[in-house]
Each structure stands twice: as structure tokens, then as C-alpha cells.
């Protein structure tokens, strides 16, 4: 009897490390599965929340991830005219794994969402950064950007601009420019400018701060913009609806109203 008990005790002691490793594996695996599901869910929520945003930039995506879990690391963000793909990972401290030499576990996530925004180009003049979703690579040369590939007969151009003197944009034979706080078309005075302005050109019409100014008859030919005094530039597939600019709620109000 005592011999049998001794054998059972020996067997138990031999199996104890295996039982411990099994329990440790279950605990750490559960931890990895939990965090994998968490990072996947956060990715889904973030991408769903921004897939309709027209002025989306990478920093928006990173900020939303950080707000949900600042331990998530963004490995890459790929945006084109149709999709947004984000690859991310998170390092997790093991519960038992460190006993056998594992300092961390890494869970990864890759999520893709259809990009519903019609935005083609977004340019922020703080650092001449251009984000293009139309497949073309645009560069700034001598403070000018050439957008001759864009057909403005079917696109909306939105420009946030100051009232500083400079060439603004040239479309074929049309030249919009600022001189002494006024906006001119060729040599014709259009309107006086505020310190901060939003200019729309849509369906051959010019709008300043939502108010119709003038028609531009010819919208073809070379299209260049001097960005020296431009805060941002957007081009997208939104036109007028019942005489109103359809993206009226997408204006950069914080900048327009700033004094």
C-alpha cells in the first residue's frame, strides 16, 4: 500500500511540471487570444469611423488608435482611391511565459475597409505634404503644384487661403490671383478677402466663403496653383446640389473662424 502511494506521489511529482506548463500555456494563450480580438475590434471600429472622412490623413488614424489603446503600434497605413489598410501589432507581457524565457508575446492585426470618400487630393501647406488618392504623384516645385491631370468640369476644388498677395491659380487662360487684399479673375476685381477664406470652384462657378461670386467659362488646359499662401487644398468628386455646395459641413471652420 505504502509502495503504491509512493509511486503515485513520484508520478505526480514527475507530471507536475507538465501540468504547470499546460496551465501556463492555457493562461497565456487565452491572454493572446483576448488581445488579438481586442486589437482586431479596435481596428474595425477605427476604420469604420473614418471611411467616410473626406480630409483624412494618416495622423487621424494613429490618433484614434492611441485613444483606444496607446500600446498598439501602427506598422503601416495604405490608402488608395478605394481602400484603407492598416497593419498593427501589440506586445503583451506573458503571465507564465517569462519563466521559460519569453519576455513578450506579439499579436498582429491587418484590417481593410472600403474608402467611401471621394477625396482625390489633400494638401496641407505646413510642410508641403501631399496625400493623393487618384494614383498620381504630385510634387511642389517653386511653391507651385501642377494638377493638369484633374478635370475640373467634374470635380470640386476647395482652397483654404489667406489674403496675402501672390499668384493663386491658373486654369488655361483663367488666372485667379490676390492683390492688395482683393481677389481678381484675370484683371477683373471679384471680391475683397478676409484674413482667412475658403474658395470653391465647382461646375465652372467660383464661391468664396459659401457665396457665389462668378462663373469661369473655360476650365480646361494647364492647371497650376501657387501654394505660398494656401492653408490647404482639396479636390474631390462632389458637385453642387440645388445651388448649394454639397460638402457644406466639411469646411475647416476652426481655421476659417480663427482670429
Question: Mind spelling out the 3-state secondary structure of the chain?
Answer: CHHHHHHHHHHHHHHHHHHHHHHHHHHHHHHHHHHHHHHHHHHHHHHHHHCCCCCCCHHHHHHHHHHHCCCCEEEEEEECCCEEEEEEEEEECCCCHHHHCCCCEEEEEEEEEECCCCEEEEEECCCCEEEECCCCCCCEECCEEECCCCCCCCCEEEEEECCCCEEEEEECCEEEEEECCEEEECCEEEEECCCCEEEEEECCEEEECCEEEEECCCCCCCEEEECCCEEEEEEECCCEECCEECCHHHCCHHHHCCC
Nearest to 213 by CA among 233, 231, 188: 188
**Does one domain contain both 31 and 82?**
yes
**Does one domain contain both 71 and 127?**
no
**Does one domain contain both 53 and 129?**
no
**Does one domain contain both 16 and 59?**
yes
Environment class of residue 250 by beta-carbon count within 10 Å: exposed (0-12), middle (13-18) or buried (19+)?
middle
Which domain, by its residues, includes 164? Answer: 119-256
What is residue 57's predicted lDDT score, i.e. its pLDDT?
A: 74
**Does one domain contain both 186 and 225?**
yes
**Does one domain contain both 6 and 80?**
yes
**Does one domain contain both 7 and 110?**
yes
d(CA 122, CA 131): 5
Domain with residue 175: its CATH number is 2.60.120
What is residue 104's predicted lDDT score, i.e. its pLDDT?
A: 82
pLDDT in tens, the chain (259 residues): 555 666 666 665 666 666 666 766 777 778 888 889 999 999 999 988 887 776 677 888 899 999 998 899 999 988 766 788 999 999 988 776 666 666 788 889 999 988 776 677 777 766 777 777 766 777 788 888 888 777 777 778 888 888 888 888 887 778 889 999 999 988 889 999 988 888 888 877 888 888 888 887 766 667 888 888 888 888 877 665 555 565 544 555 666 765 4
Tell how far CA 183 is from the center of its chain: 31
What is residue 218's predicted lDDT score, i.e. its pLDDT?
A: 61
**Does one domain contain both 173 and 80?**
no
**Does one domain contain both 64 and 90?**
yes
**Does one domain contain both 6 and 102?**
yes
Last residue of one domain, picked from the residues 49, 81, 114: 114
Last residue of one domain, picked from the residues 62, 93, 114: 114
What is residue 140's predicted lDDT score, i.e. its pLDDT?
A: 82
**Does one domain contain both 29 and 155?**
no
What is residue 82's predicted lDDT score, i.e. its pLDDT?
A: 73
Nearest to 119 by CA among 156, 87, 154: 156
Strands 119-124 and 129-132: what pairing? antiparallel
Last residue of one domain, picked from the residues 60, 89, 114: 114
What is residue 259's predicted lDDT score, i.e. its pLDDT?
A: 47
d(CA 56, CA 58): 7
**Does one domain contain both 7 and 100?**
yes
Domain count, the chain: 2
Amino acid at each position: 500500500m505504502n509502495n503504491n502511494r509512493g509511486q503515485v506521489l513520484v508520478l505526480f511529482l514527475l507530471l507536475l511540471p507538465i501540468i504547470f506548463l499546460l496551465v501556463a500555456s492555457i493562461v497565456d494563450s487565452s491572454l493572446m487570444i483576448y488581445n488579438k480580438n481586442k486589437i482586431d475590434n479596435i481596428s474595425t471600429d477605427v476604420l469604420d469611423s473614418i471611411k467616410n472622412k473626406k480630409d483624412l490623413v494618416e495622423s487621424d488614424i494613429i490618433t484614434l488608435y492611441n485613444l483606444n489603446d496607446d500600446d498598439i503600434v501602427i506598422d503601416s497605413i495604405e490608402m488608395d482611391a478605394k481602400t484603407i489598410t492598416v497593419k498593427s501589432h501589440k506586445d503583451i507581457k506573458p503571465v507564465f511565459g517569462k519563466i521559460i524565457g519569453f519576455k513578450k508575446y506579439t499579436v498582429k492585426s491587418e484590417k481593410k475597409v472600403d474608402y467611401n470618400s471621394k477625396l482625390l487630393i489633400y494638401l496641407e501647406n505646413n510642410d508641403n505634404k501631399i496625400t493623393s488618392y487618384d494614383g498620381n504623384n504630385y510634387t511642389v516645385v517653386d511653391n507651385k503644384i501642377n494638377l493638369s491631370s484633374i478635370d475640373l468640369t467634374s470635380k470640386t476644388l476647395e482652397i483654404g487661403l489667406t489674403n496675402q498677395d501672390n499668384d493663386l491659380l491658373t486654369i488655361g487662360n483663367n488666372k485667379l490671383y490676390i492683390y492688395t487684399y482683393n481677389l481678381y479673375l484675370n484683371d477683373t476685381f471679384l471680391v475683397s478677402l478676409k484674413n482667412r477664406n475658403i474658395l470653391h470652384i465647382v461646375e465652372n462657378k467660383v464661391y468664396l466663403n459659401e457665396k457665389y461670386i462668378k462663373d469661369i467659362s473655360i476650365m480646361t488646359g494647364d492647371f497650376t496653383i501657387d501654394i505660398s499662401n494656401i492653408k490647404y487644398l482639396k479636390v474631390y468628386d462632389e458637385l453642387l446640389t440645388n445651388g448649394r455646395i454639397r460638402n457644406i459641413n466639411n469646411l475647416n471652420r476652426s481655421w476659417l473662424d480663427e482670429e
